[in-house]
Chain A
Amino acid sequence: DAGVTQSPTHLIKTRGQQVTLRCSPKSGHDTVSWYQQALGQGPQFIFQYYEEEERQRGNFPDRFSGHQFPNYSSELNVNALLLGDSALYLCASSGGGPQHFGDGTRLSIL
């Protein structure tokens, strides 16, 4: 049984570009949450999707948006990339119990 999978594992972009990160939840999970982890810090909550709707949102600008598909997989989109967006982006899925995390996408902005 595969856990949470994220793609790509690493990505390099330049300022001003746009990026899309992808997440497949653990089997049986219907809720997907996204987190941003800067170097040396704990993960910060971005938003959560359930039934294809954004259910909760953290303190992130509108440049950060997402989507959930009928098969529960999810995408995180970031527009107009800034140097400060360089981070590890983590996806977590849940189905009423604990959230389980993928190993993240390392995004570097040049």
Chain B
Amino acid sequence: DAKTTQPTSMDCAEGRAANLPCNHSTISGNEYVYWYRQIHSQGPQYIIHGLKNNETNEMASLIITEDRKSSTLILPHATLRDTAVYYCIVRGRSYNTDKLIFGTGTRLQVFP
């Protein structure tokens, strides 16, 4: 079973920030939080990951709470091409725990 819970769906206006929450209350100290997204008819696309510090790259920012029980993926200026299913995944570090366990994700709809 997935170790994360996410809202089923969210809407966001184009040009506004999209904030996607994720709960992972049972995360252990050596597990990372990963985010992927899947645009229709494509494979999942890696977005960002973090352990306990906030992270930012060219696609998004990841904010992890101090207790690490939840996180938020931020798309700072959403575009129509960001419409996708977003998956929050907890992943272990070692070779025998690095499989990805997907839940059902959050379907983000960006509207004009």
Interface of B is mostly: loop
Q: Across the interface, do B104 and A103 meet the contact criterion of CB distance under 8 Å?
A: no
Considering only CB atoms, which chain B residue lies closest to A101 in the complex? B43
The stretch that binds B, out of A12-20, A50-58, A78-86, is A50-58
Specify which chain A residues have a CB less than 8 angstroms from the CB of B42 in the assembled complex.
Answer: 103
The residue of chain A having its C-beta at the shortest distance from the C-beta of B96 within the complex is A56
Bound form: Cα–Cα A103–B95 in Å: 24
Query: In which size bucket is the chain B interface?
Result: 20 to 34
The dominant DSSP class at the A interface is strand
B10 interface residue per 8 A CB criterion: no
**List of B residues within 8 angstroms of A33 by Cβ:** 99-100
- Determine if B102 and A101 form an interchain contact, defined as CB atoms under 8 angstroms apart: no
Contact yes or no, B102 A43, CB < 8 A: yes
B80 at the interface (CB under 8 A from A): no
Q: Interface size (A, Cβ < 8 Å)?
A: 23
Q: Are B99 and A45 in contact (CB under 8 A)?
A: yes
Find residues 11-55 in chain B having any chain A CB closer than 8 Å to their own CB: 34, 36, 41-46, 49
Which residues of A are at the interface with B, using a C-beta cutoff of 8 A?
4, 33, 35, 41-45, 48, 50, 55-56, 58, 90, 92, 94, 98-104
B residues near A, CB below 8 A? 2, 34, 36, 41-46, 49, 87, 95-96, 98-105
